[in-house]
Amino acid sequence: MASKILSTDSKTLMKKNLQNEESLITTKTIDENNKQNRSESYTRNEVWFKTELKWINIVTLSLLHLCFIYACFTFNFFENLMTTAWIYGMIIIAGFGVTGGVHRFWTHRSYKAKWQLRTILAACYAAASMNDIFEWVRDHRVHHKYTDTDADPHNSNRGFFFSHMGWLMMKKHPDVIRRGCEIDMSDVLADPIAVFAIKYSSILKFIFAFLLPMMLPVYAWNETWSRAFVSQIFIRYILVLNFTWSVNSVAHIWGSRPYDAHINPTESLFVNCATVGEGSHNYHHIFPWDYKASEFNGSITTNLIKFFSKIGWAYDLKEPSEELIKTVAMNRGDGSHSLWKAVPYSANKIE
Ligand SMILES: [Zn+2]
Ligand SMILES: [Zn+2]
């Protein structure tokens, strides 16, 4: 595993750095980036492509979702409210690992974190039991670089199902693989905690996503093993997966576009609630380096990062100036931003 990672690293280091342009961002660079991304002969017309199916994923995900539906109708959520509350507790813990950890920290470097916080983030991320940190970060950097083109792993122009979970059920488009190899991952591989989490991904997932979450209800409040298993594996795990996937599907299809009317990503209240604060996706695609992933404070993840910055474990929290946000919204938004309530919106703002 380690040698595979290191060889990928040395290969990618030979290529140009495709991210981290964030710190110099202006409305001009946003325009230029969008043009650059579209200029690689990527079109929004090529919806279908032929590829191999990943049958193991198709069968596993289908069975898990069938179990989820069965569990939702048969599990007695009122039998022990502690067990029910623990479903929500684990959604927050795993959600923080995804949003505050692999997304805002390892992918976008929107803040810096000391080893104590990085360890917590790695453990919380393992609780979500997704792809390892390397794969997640690489896929998400490609997603931002080539949003909704053939090189986007979950191109939302291919429809809801593909962008939600279908993309995990088949081999990636050749452009996704090609562009993924170009992504600079040296920062992730330079982080010993991330490398440890990548190397021991399977065992960490088993411990933090399944073993400990099931042991707590059994030993802390005498829950049965079967109810602990059903509530944590069939219900909580599938909810966390679908909530995370909804950012790629729901928040690329339905909602308003107050910061850039020319891109698919949207603002979605539903996704915001489900993902502890990742639903301001139109904003996030314009300012991916903002640690809040939103113009506004208030989400659980943002508050947790703020808490860790207070005790010194998180620092260098990045965010754009109010002036820059306003300029972007006025120039590129669809008119749904609250600032238009004071100023009448002109339809000719969208060309
Ligand atoms: Zn997106
Ligand atoms: Zn992102």
Of the listed ligands, the closest to the CA of 250 is: 1
Of the listed ligands, the closest to the CA of 281 is: 1
Of the listed ligands, the closest to the CA of 143 is: 1
Distance 115 CA to ligand 1 centre (A): 28
Average pLDDT of the segment spanning 281-300: 94
Distance 289 CA to ligand 2 centre (A): 8
Distances (CA, A) of 61 to 56, 81, 165, 311: 8, 28, 9, 40
> What span, in angstroms and rounded, lies between the C-alpha atoms of 42 and 145?
12
Kind and range of the H or E run holding 170: none
Q: How many CB atoms lie within 10 A of CB 345?
A: 15
Q: Which residues pair with 280 in a beta bridge?
A: 267
Distance 218 CA to ligand 2 centre (A): 36
**35 pLDDT tier (thresholds 50, 70, 90):** very low
> What span, in angstroms and rounded, lies between the C-alpha atoms of 101 and 121?
5
Amino acid at 270: F
Distance 144 CA to ligand 1 centre (A): 7
Distance 248 CA to ligand 2 centre (A): 10
Asked whether 156 and 251 are in contact (CB, 8 A), the reply is no
Does 27 score more than 80 pLDDT?
Answer: no
Distance 190 CA to ligand 1 centre (A): 26
Q: What angle do CA 268, 271, 275 make, to 5 degrees?
A: 145
pLDDT digits (tens, 9 = 90+) for 156-171: 999 999 999 999 999 9
Does 333 score more than 60 pLDDT?
Answer: yes
Task: Tokens 């042991």: give the residue.
Answer: 215
Lowest-pLDDT range of 27-36, 115-124, 181-190 = 27-36
Model-level pTM? Answer: 0.84
pLDDT digits (tens, 9 = 90+) for 222-279: 999 999 999 999 999 999 999 999 999 999 999 999 999 999 999 999 898 888 889 9
Distances (CA, A) of 38 to 30, 35, 41, 218, 283: 13, 5, 7, 53, 19
